[in-house]
Amino acid sequence: MATIKASSYEILIDEDYAKLNAYVESLSPSNIIIIVDENTEVHCLPKIKKHLHQDFLSIKIPAGEKYKSISTCQGLWETLIKYNCDRQSLIINLGGGVIGDMGGFVAGTYMRGIRFIQMPTTLLSQVDASVGGKLAIDLSSYKNIVGLFLEPSMVWVDTSFIQTLTELELRSGYAEVIKHALIRSKALWQRINSRKLDYSSEEWSTLITDNIAIKNFVVQQDFKEGGLRKVLNFGHTIGHSIESHFLNSTSPLTHGEAIAAGMICESYISHEQNLISESELSTITSYIRSLYPINVRLSTISTELIRIMGHDKKNVSGQILFSLIEGIGDSTYDVHVDDDIIIKALEYYDNITS
Q: Of 39, 93, 211, 233, which residue is the catalytic one?
A: 233
How crowded is residue 74: how many other Cβ atoms within 10 Å of its Cβ?
A: 11
Distance CA 218, CA 333 (A): 13
In degrees, to the nearest 5, what angle opens at C-alpha 106 toward C-alphas 104 and 109?
105
Q: Of 230, 240, 245, 314, which residue is the catalytic one?
A: 240
Q: Of 229, 230, 245, 271, which residue is the catalytic one?
A: 229
Told to judge if 233 belongs to the known catalytic residues of this protein, a careful annotator would answer yes
340: Cβ contacts below 8 Å, ≥ 6 apart: none
Q: Of 151, 169, 202, 225, which residue is the catalytic one?
A: 225
CA 176 to chain centroid, in Å, comes to 7
Told to judge if 336 belongs to the known catalytic residues of this protein, a careful annotator would answer no
Told to judge if 236 belongs to the known catalytic residues of this protein, a careful annotator would answer yes
Told to judge if 112 belongs to the known catalytic residues of this protein, a careful annotator would answer yes
Q: Of 215, 230, 245, 271, which residue is the catalytic one?
A: 215
Answer yes or no: are the C-beta atoms of 137 and 105 closer than 8 Å: yes
Told to judge if 229 belongs to the known catalytic residues of this protein, a careful annotator would answer yes
| Dihedrals phi, psi of 213, to nearest 5 degrees | -60, -40
Exposure string of 77-109, with b = 16+ CB inside 10 Å and e = fewer, is eebbeeeebeeebbbbbbbbbbbbbbbbbbbbb
Q: Name the residue type at position 209.
A: T
Q: Of 50, 84, 112, 195, which residue is the catalytic one?
A: 112
Told to judge if 176 belongs to the known catalytic residues of this protein, a careful annotator would answer yes
Told to judge if 66 belongs to the known catalytic residues of this protein, a careful annotator would answer no
115: Cβ contacts below 8 Å, ≥ 6 apart: 27, 29, 89, 90, 91, 107, 152, 153
Distance CA 280, CA 268 (A): 10
Q: Of 65, 151, 169, 176, which residue is the catalytic one?
A: 176
Q: Of 180, 236, 245, 271, which residue is the catalytic one?
A: 236
CA distances 132 to 149, 150, 161, 338, Å, are 8, 8, 21, 30
Q: Of 255, 266, 271, 314, which residue is the catalytic one?
A: 255
**Active site (catalytic) residues:** 112, 134, 176, 215, 225, 229, 233, 236, 240, 255
